[in-house]
Amino acid sequence: MNQDDSIAVEYPRNIHEDMVHSSGLRGYLEVMQHLGIDPMPLLAKHGIQLAQLQDDNAWISHTALIQLLEESAQQANCADLGLRISQYQDIGILGVLGLILQSASTLHEVIKYSSDLLFLHGSALRLYINDRVSTDAFEPSSDIVELIFDIQLHDATHILSKRQTMDLGLAVCHRVLRYLSGERYQPLRVALPHSPIAPLNVYKRFFHAEVMIDQQHAALYFHKDMLNITLDNLSSTKSA
């Protein structure tokens, strides 16, 4: 989406509307204020109340969140808004799911629990693993797996771009995995399903990995041996 693209603010008002916990916007206010932009008019325009952002268990329209971040990035002229917001987010935004993930014994279990239960955080969120990687980035016989992140809305009619929200979601996945696995976790490559506005070096510095753009989906690539990383030594003093 170009910087001058207009954004249609229309949200579905039916039982099929996808909702997500407001904790998914943790850090939004701080980042916008740091950028010198008053976030309140934008929140009001997209039907999100300040009280909802102050309650991690509140549900908000996922479409509204996506549109909010896209327009906020434009107004603030901040191409990496999603990545910046992710710095304020950790496993705590997942609530009950976060507690379940911390009970896992291996990284493979973390991914399985996330795949099965991510709806607890947002109905449109998807996370799944593919052990049959097909990309020119790796040899066909290499033991590489990809962790795919996606947002599958019931109605995406009015969504012109999910760039910032996809960046945010993939970044939070990365931070949570690093929190649970420590230095043992390291992606080999990162795939973005769009052409980012921000320079690629911004993404490379964030993920500490090479970045591929305009891919079929958002994904983190790593060696399959990482699935066996044990999480027995998880400490509450860890920081993501």
Q: For residue range 168-226, list pLDDT tens digits in order.
A: 999 999 999 999 998 899 999 999 999 999 999 999 999 999 999 999 999 999 999 99
Beta bridge partners of 191: 212, 219
What's this model's pTM, rounded to 2 decimal places? 0.89
Rounded mean pLDDT, 134-161:
86
Which pLDDT value is given to residue 9?
44
8 A C-beta contact, residue 78 and residue 37: no
DSSP classification of residue 188: S
Pair 56, 97: CB distance under 8 Å: no
Per-residue pLDDT band at 132 (split at 50, 70, 90): confident
- Mean pLDDT, residues 54-76: 96
Report the distance separating Cα 113 and Cα 104, nearest Å. 8
Burial class (CB in 10 A: 0-12, 13-18, 19+), 156: middle
Alpha carbons 36 and 151: distance in angstroms, whole number? 29
d(CA 121, CA 116): 11
Residue with tokens 């043992």: 184
Q: What is the mean pLDDT of the chain?
A: 89
Given this model, what pLDDT does residue 133 score?
Answer: 81
And the tokens for 199? 């320079």
Instruction: Say if residues 97 and 24 touch (Cβ distance below 8 Å).
Output: no
Confidence (pLDDT) at 232:
67
Residues 6+ apart with CB under 8 A from 28: 39, 53, 68, 69, 72, 85
Q: HEC states along 50-119?
A: HHHHCCCCCEEEHHHHHHHHHHHHHHHCCCCHHHHHHCCCCHHHHCHHHHHHCCCCEHHHHHHHHHHHHH
Per-residue confidence band for 17, with pLDDT thresholds at 50, 70 and 90: confident
Task: Flag whether pLDDT at 10 surpasses 80.
Answer: no
Task: Examine the pLDDT at 234 and tell me if it is beyond 90.
Answer: no
Residue 139: its pLDDT value, please? 72
Q: Return the residue matching tokens 């693209």.
A: 5
Strand order in the sheet with 189-191: 125-130, 144-151, 218-223, 189-191, 210-212
* In the predicted structure, residue 236 carries a pLDDT above the cut 50: no
Rounded to whole angstroms, how far apart are CA atoms 15 and 154? 10
pLDDT of residue 216: 92
